[in-house]
Amino acid sequence: MSLFLIAALPFLGAVFPALLIRAGRNASASAAGLTTFLAFVGLLLHAPAVFRGEVIQVGVDWLPGLGLNANFFLDGLGFLFAAMILGIGLLVILYARFYLSREDPMGQFYTYLLLFQGAMVGIVLSDNILLLLVFWELTSLSSFLLIGYWKHLPEGRQGARMALAVTGSGGLAMIGGMMILGNIAGSYDLSVILQHKDMIQASPLYLPALILILLGCFTKSAQFPFHFWLPHAMAAPTPVSAYLHSATMVKAGLFLMARLWPVLAGTPEWFYIVATTGLITMFLGAVIALFKDDLKALLAFSTVSHLGLITMLLGFGTKIAAVTAVFHIINHATFKAALFMSAGIVDHEAHTRDIKRLGGLRHLMPVTATIAIVAALSMAGIPPFNGFLSKEMMLEETVHTLWGGSHYVVPGLALLAALFSAAYSFRFIGHVFLGRTRDDYPAQPHDPGFGMWAGPGLLMMLVVLIGLFSANLAGPLVAVAAGAVIGGADLPYYSLKLWHGLTPALYMSAGAVVGGLVLLKLHAPLMAAWNRAPRPEAKQIFDALMRGLTKLSQLITDGLHNGAITRYAFVMMLFIIGLSYYAYASGTLSLPSRTVQSVGPITVIAWFCLMVATLAVVAKHRQRQLSLVLIGVVGLVVSLGFNYLSAPDLALTQLSVEVVTMVLLLLALNFMPKDSPVESPLWVRLRDGGIAMIAGLGAATLIYMLMLRDFAMPSISEFHLANSYKGGGGTNVVNVILVDFRGYDTFGEIIVLGIAALVIYALTEAVLGTRVRAYLLNRKPDIPQAGDAHPMMMVVATRVMMPLALMVAAYIFFRGHNLPGGGFIAGLIAAIALLMQYMASGFSWASERQRMFYHGTIGSGVLIAAATGLGSWFSGLPFLTSAFGYLHWAPLEEFEWATAALFDLGVFLAVVGAVLLALESLARFAWQPGISSEHAMDINPARDHAAEEAAAEAAAAAAKGEA
């Protein structure tokens, strides 16, 4: 199975659980499970190649000029993490089916879960760091939805916001670091970056890149001082917590540190930042976990501690420490998922997670107790379970690690952390499952059905089997994953076995177990001392920080953004003028290399008309209708200027746009007063006029200077002129640029055009549902109107001209690739032909005869343009690459045809649909002489009774006034 499909399956499958929920909870869960199972099977198909040491790579050049390629690769490290994400994801899906209540929207839950799963799979399979960053941010967004899944809980909403704020901020820092890293290596592909260790570490930008990347990793993996968000994420349902703590989200930071280990590790900066952060996090998380009474909070801080352990190992920078980190990632995933699911079972059956209200559950819940006790013993590092093996290897590494020249700092703190880790694990076992049963449980505890304990039961078996047979079960996976971490170098000697002899690590481990038992015995007085001790609360610090940032942002926003466009323009213009003056004063200007051409009288007259019309717009801008006419004059002169400067395409476009916009803006004036009020005092207007004159004079001077000089670098126009025909199959360079060289820009523009038309439609729908509708229907003109609203001569002329205009549009469309024209201009001409029918014969007559669904026309245009671009993928070419050749269809002569014509067809349809949808929206209730309010109401496709009543009231009031 292709890596593309493995990465895409969770996203594709996310649609089905929400759709199938109406078929039942089992159908929704089955859809989610089947999607994950297929992706997991597809991953396992690559296992033989991965275990042989091969790297599977696939890729598509998306925007190669920017280094943005959709590249994926699978090696041992990616296989390990993808297997955990998909394998544990299957168990979580099964568990969630029986954990969630009937009141919980299960389809929504599985949709969020699969989006989260897909983002994580994308991270571990990405070969391009820009693509990885996209998936990285998707994990923050999808985890926000999962953590805040129970929207009715305030702590759920706050936990989701906290997680998004912390991980999102770290993600922004990491974007900067990744950009620097890619710039140093000269590529954004990970497979290339990982081959440039010496170049990266020798660069002066190594430290900034390292710090920024580690900020992203530390925030995602809840490392000190960003550890506080993870426990608050426990407001999410337990299936989310189990998934997030064992195989996803928090492991993303560890994955990235392991992925970049070959090029970032091995320096003092890496050691002191990463190892120290991990050591502090490991110790601090273990201490806090011991004093938490909430089951999930205890497990959450234990996760923080174990994440710190793995971070510390990666920070050591040695090969054997990297191997140990990989091994503990596997072990932690198994026992932590089992523990969270067990805690969820206890909460589900006993209706409480408060350890003080529990105890003696081994008698009432023997199956759950067995699973939880085995997993907790593994977390404590007790043999023969898998957690013991990686803990021993970790302690052995600390003994050989110096920090600041001392042999005791790292092993001492690691021993204390292991001691507290054993203590909270023993507390989890003793205070929840051991002891006598109680008679005051909130609900009578009992083991759940098989569906809920099957997943943690399987994980418990892995905990035991890996502990007993680690060399055979986990050994090959550890070898290939660790080999990928250390960059393909030879693996150091290590042995995954329970007994290594009487080593310092064994003595430290035994001391940690004994110390943990002592701490458990002294827990009550220690808890009292802990509660009395003053200490900073991370949540309070975070809340205060967020309040301060919110007030600061409000202060800045209110000071700069008061809603007045004049202020924004004033600040921007002053900045531009100041910057331009600095550039002029500090720069140099070469001598002119061109002479001024002679200017004929017609050009002078056109320029004079342009200046007069422009000044008249400024002087009369408060009279909206007059200013609109003057703007039309400006547009007409500009189109003549384009034609004079040998730009017929631009002239045609400008002329067509002017006609369409004039009609639409005239219709829009129906919703506005005739005159705009005076809102600024005289001195402000004089000030703004002076600034505008200075800016305009500066821009004119700059243009004049540029036109007199040649550019030192060749213009890109030379490339377009040289490659228009042989690269795009057309001699009209402008059209080839629009539909080929810069087709992606055009594609975005037609989408924006369609969105603008839809917004106009939505706004008019909203406005016309109010009393504005009644006002428009019943207002009377303030100037005499023509007696005939639809003059016969205009009606006949437009109906005769319509087929001719459409023929011209078709002609302009088909010739556009080689002569002035194209889909955009043809679309405007066709739209004008239809506009004339509305103007001549009236909205009612035209709307009753039109057969076009304008929303669908826009959508069809966008889809056709997109399909044309996607078609190039089937030939292995970048998006929107066009092909062309010569065809001979009898009885026609041989003619040239390019696939860009299909793209142009999409542009044509989008333009026609957008213009006519805007027209229909604005013209629906434009006042028409001789059309009664009742008739106008009948032609409204979206009539509502409230507006009808408003219209009747207005009509009655008007009649009463006349009487």
pLDDT score, position 82: 94
Look at residue 677 and tell me whether its pLDDT is greater than 90: no
Residue 859 has pLDDT above 60, yes or no: yes
The pLDDT of residue 643 is above 90: no
The whole-number pLDDT of residue 787 equals: 65
What pLDDT is attached to residue 735?
A: 85
Bridge-based pairing state of the strands 884-887 and 895-898: antiparallel
In this predicted structure, the answer to whether residue 931 has a pLDDT above a threshold of 80 is no
Question: Per-residue confidence at 933, pLDDT binned at 50, 70, 90?
Answer: very low
Say how many C-beta atoms besides its own lie within 10 A of residue 722's C-beta: 11
pLDDT tier at 785 (50, 70, 90 boundaries)?
low
**Where is mean pLDDT largest: 552-561, 633-642, 763-772?**
633-642
| Top mean-pLDDT range of 487-496, 857-866, 895-904, 929-938 | 857-866
Q: What share of the chain is helix, strand, coil (3-state, %, to 5)?
A: 75, 5, 25
Task: Specify the pLDDT at position 135.
Answer: 93
Helical residues (DSSP H) of 260-294, grouped into ranges = 261-264, 268-270, 276-290
Cα radius of gyration rounded to whole Å, the chain? 35
516, with CB counted inside 10 A (0-12, 13-18, 19+), is: buried
> What pLDDT is stored for residue 956 in this prediction?
52
Confidence grade of residue 179 (pLDDT, cut at 50, 70, 90): very high
Question: Per-residue pLDDT tens for 448-502?
Answer: 989 889 999 999 999 999 999 888 888 899 999 999 998 876 788 888 888 777 8
Q: How far apart are CA 696 and CA 703, in angstroms?
A: 11
Tell me the per-residue pLDDT of 586-615, one tens digit each, with 9 for 90 and over: 877 788 888 888 888 888 888 888 889 888
936 — pLDDT class (breaks 50, 70, 90): very low
The pTM of the whole model exceeds 0.75? no
Return the higher-pLDDT residue of 72 and 891.
72
Is 61 a residue whose pLDDT tops 80? Answer: no
More confident site: 779 or 219: 219
The pLDDT of residue 929: 40
Position 328 pLDDT exceeds 50: yes
Q: What's the token pair of residue 873?
A: 């993928």
Selected residue with higher pLDDT from 451 and 283: 283
- pLDDT digit string, tens, across residues 526-552: 998 888 888 777 778 888 888 898 899
The secondary element (H helix, E strand) that includes residue 177 is helix 154-185
Q: Which residue stretches of 100-153 are H helix? A: 106-125, 129-147
Nearest in space to 267 (alpha carbons), one of 174, 201, 177, 182: 201
Mean pLDDT, rounded, for 508-533: 90
677 or 896, greater pLDDT: 677
**Distance separating alpha carbons of residues 381 and 462, to the nearest angstrom:** 15
Provide the 3-class DSSP secondary structure of residue 398.
helix
